[in-house]
Chain A
Amino acid sequence: MTPGSGDEAILDISGLRVTFTGGPRPVRAVDGVDLKLRRGEVVALLGESGSGKSVTLRSILRLHPEKKTRIEGGIRVQDVDVLRLKGRALADFRGKRVSMIFQEPMLAMDPVYTVGRQITESIIKHENVSPDEARRRALTLFEQVRIPSPARRLDAYPHEMSGGMRQRAMIALALACNPQVLLADEPTTALDATVQVQILLLLRELQHQLGLSMIFVTHDISVGVEVADRIAVMYAGRIVEIGSVRDVIRSPRHPYTIGLMSTRPHGGRLLGNRLPAIPGSPPDLANLPPGCAFAPRCPHAGEACGVSAPAPVEVSAGHWVRCVRTDLTAKA
């Protein structure tokens, strides 16, 4: 199936609100996120620190501490109601239906077991196969993620591998039980430029080959452009703009996205010029302004912006923007 063509949602997030209640004041990190991920589609969730992109992602696997987090809304993966999963069912769901790769594989993997053992353990836990069969599958996975001399590397500990190799091993671990949905949380951010490209291209290739549906969290627009079919831009816990990569990159309509695009130093700019910068700084989540959270930094902000949070507006087919002044952001 070609990415994005089917309308069937494999993952459906609706009205998601995540509030952390552990601190002195409750902090609403995600405030009403709706997102449908189609089968075989890659959506990049783009945003700055504190925008709620990682919190959204982690909610899908229920990775937040239960006692200090209030999750409202709905998350469904096909027929599974994720927010109602308990105990054994939740453990079966993680890794088998939906799996995740993290920014720092050194922290995500267990340092006292070999990488191969961690992969075979995961396979045996979820499926009824013999250790020999599990090891054969681990070897195939290592070949798939192109780790050189894979048989030898299966017996390596995480600290014996380089950063890029560890990230490949983590991808193999995430794919061990053939998940349908892969969540990626800034998987290339900690890597060097020459290694980042290799991992991005590997992920793109595996996604195609295996028909994976993916959510890819990143703070770097160019990474999103490289891997995604659609881009969702988050600001202060809400998706403020979502659309196809082409629409969002070539004709962004939310003032925040427009600002982000123009603020990038890109190509040969003449020395001595200044960058067009977005004034101010991202808002404090425990103390959000009423209405549009971007209004205090927005060049187009008017009275209506301070009243209530803008509802999504469809500016072209499948391109939604949460802004009341889209008339001002249309290209002349």
Chain B
Amino acid sequence: MTSPLLEVRGLVKQFPVRKNLFGRATTFVSAVDGIDFDLFEGETLGVVGESGCGKSTTARLLMHLIEPTAGTIRFGGRTVGTAELPVKEFRRQVQMVFQDSYASLNPRLTVEESIAFGPTVHGVSQREANARALSLLERVGLDPRRFAGRFTHELSGGQRQRVNIARALALQPRILVLDEAVSALDKSVEAQVLNLLADLKEAFGLTYLFISHDLEVVRFMSTRVLVMYLGRVAELGPTEALYTGSRHPYTTALLGSLLSMDPDHRTAAPPITGDPPNPIDPPPGCRFHTRCAYAEGVCSARMPALLAGAADAAPHWVACHMHAPRSGHSKLKAGAAPETA
């Protein structure tokens, strides 16, 4: 593959949990705790994981809606937030669609005004911005003559999410961050919006970061998939390789939790027991070792590095001691002769 459009390195975000007498934070929760990944032009990178794993925090960090505690984000080789690439300029390239379609639109603006607002802030003339809004409405499947003058409360959930997508596209970004963008929609409407996203991606040559808790939807949408667990990357690889040959025990458990849709082959036993641990007090070493069937001494002692197999046609990264040579894990996978990250 070519050089990545977006490079994320060592990204960390800590939120204060408890403050002392003088208002200084004494306890932190590391919502995102040192993650690295690349986003390549034209791909859809799916991000999956359970609540509290840091997927939404990652999205907000990418958008600079919150400031990272540590780490860098580079866009097209330029570091975001420095003189090379100021945040405002970066935001024009990366736009976001949120889960709550209602909360993300201004209730006092009409649909047309909502979409045209962004471009005018970035120096496009009002006329040009309005024209762009109308053509985008058409593009997302809402007839401009019927919808341009409406307010957000006059729209259904699916229509509102279409407006949000149009609003995100109004700045002609190259990357769209979709944070559970279809999760609140009814199933019959969800498919329409997924199809729309696929159409727009082709038409505008977009790159997607697609965050969802729905593994089936992510499989349908993504070229590559990133699995997060308690603020860390557990696995990252090409979609089908990951879905059919998962390497991290957590990914395997997550996929094993998918229900079969076959009344004759119902799930017999849960793939893993227990709940995800509290992120305020994450377990040492591999974050997953408390729920992992293969956990050994090394797993609680050292945090595994994210490594790709040497024989991978396309790199398939995993952070697990069973895939790290010389880790000392007794169940070392034979095919895992990794290169270093």
Note whether A and B form a binding pair: yes
Residues on A lying within 8 angstroms of B by beta carbon are: 48-49, 162-165, 192-198, 200-201, 219, 221-223, 225-226, 245-246, 249, 259-260, 263-266, 268-269, 271-272, 274-279, 281-282, 297
Segment among B78-86, B170-178, B257-265 that sits at the interface with chain A: B257-265
Contact of B50 among A194, A259, A263 (CB under 8 A): A194
Decide yes or no whether B191 CB sits under 8 A from chain A: yes
Segment among B62-70, B181-189, B317-325 that sits at the interface with chain A: B181-189
A193-B258, A197-B259, A269-B219 known; 18 other A-B pairs, CB under 8 Å? A162-B278, A192-B213, A192-B276, A194-B50, A221-B261, A225-B266, A245-B263, A264-B216, A264-B261, A265-B191, A265-B194, A265-B220, A268-B240, A268-B243, A272-B198, A278-B188, A281-B156, A281-B186
Decide yes or no whether B195 CB sits under 8 A from chain A: yes
- Chain A: which residue is nearest B278 at the CB level? A162
- Given A198-B270, A222-B260, A265-B217, answer yes or no on A193-B187 (Cβ-Cβ < 8 Å): no
Does B213 contact A193, Cβ atoms closer than 8 Å? yes
The residues of A that contact B215 with a CB separation of less than 8 Å are 193
25 interchain pairs, CB-CB under 8 A:
A48-B187, A162-B278, A164-B275, A165-B275, A192-B51, A193-B215, A193-B257, A194-B50, A194-B276, A195-B275, A197-B257, A197-B271, A198-B270, A221-B261, A226-B259, A245-B263, A260-B187, A265-B219, A266-B216, A271-B223, A274-B195, A277-B192, A281-B156, A281-B188, A281-B189
Query: In the complex, what distance in Å separates the CA atom of A196 from the CA atom of B275?
Result: 10
Residues of chain B from 311 to 332 with CB closer than 8 A to chain A in the complex: none
- Given A194-B270, A277-B188, answer yes or no on A225-B260 (Cβ-Cβ < 8 Å): yes
Could you tell me the distance in whole angstroms from the C-beta of B17 to the nearest C-beta in chain A? 15
- Chain B: which residue is nearest A248 at the CB level? B263
- Chain A: which residue is nearest B201 at the CB level? A272
Residues of chain B from 217 to 257 with CB closer than 8 A to chain A in the complex: 217, 219-220, 223, 239-240, 243-244, 253-254, 257
Contact of B261 among A196, A225, A268 (CB under 8 A): A225
Decide yes or no whether B269 CB sits under 8 A from chain A: yes
Could you tell me the distance in whole angstroms from the C-beta of A231 to the nearest C-beta in chain B? 10
Query: In the complex, what distance in Å separates the CA atom of A269 from the CA atom of B213?
Result: 18
Decide yes or no whether B338 CB sits under 8 A from chain A: no
The residues of A that contact B199 with a CB separation of less than 8 Å are 274
Does B198 contact A266, Cβ atoms closer than 8 Å? no
Q: Which 10 A-B pairs have the closest CB atoms?
A: A265-B220, A192-B50, A222-B259, A277-B191, A48-B186, A162-B275, A278-B188, A275-B191, A193-B257, A263-B191
Could you tell me the distance in whole angstroms from the C-beta of A202 to the nearest C-beta in chain B? 9
Query: In the complex, what distance in Å separates the CA atom of A281 from the CA atom of B154?
Result: 14
Does A194 contact B266, Cβ atoms closer than 8 Å? no
Query: In the complex, what distance in Å separates the CA atom of A194 from the CA atom of B262?
Result: 19
Could you tell me the distance in whole angstroms from the C-beta of B206 to the nearest C-beta in chain A? 14
Does A194 contact B253, Cβ atoms closer than 8 Å? yes
